[in-house]
Copies of this chain bind each other. A is one copy, B any other.
Amino acid sequence: MRGYTISKDDYIRRLRRIEGQVRGLQRMVDEDTYCIDVLTQVAATTKALQSVAIGLLDEHVRHCVIEASKNGPDNADEVITEATKAIERLIRS
């Protein structure tokens, strides 16, 4: 089970919007937009990406971790260690 099948369309829709934001950034740089305005847009794009990440993590714990724990504690341990490392990469990025 992959976890995010339910709202797959929603994730793709949000990622398409983010793709549009990144294309907007290219246009802004190309048109010599004032840096601070570009930076504001970069921050908004990063925030949107982090939101997608938080949603994926939530579903991961909700489905994969719970599922793994049914197959015994060792199984769950491995899945949780993996999830923690993913959270760490997100916090540090």
> Which residues of chain A have a CB within 8 Å of any CB of chain B?
2-5, 8, 11-12, 15-16, 18-19, 22-23, 25-26, 29-30, 32-36, 38-40, 42-47, 49-50, 52-54, 56-62, 64-66, 69, 73, 76-77, 80-84, 86-93
Contacts and interface: CB of A to CB of B under 8 A. Distances in A.
Nearest to A11: B29
Contacts of A54: 84, 87-88, 91
Given A15-B29, A26-B15, A84-B58, A43 B39 contact: no
B61 A65 contact: yes
Contact of A32 (B2, B43, B49, B50): B2
A23 B12 contact: no
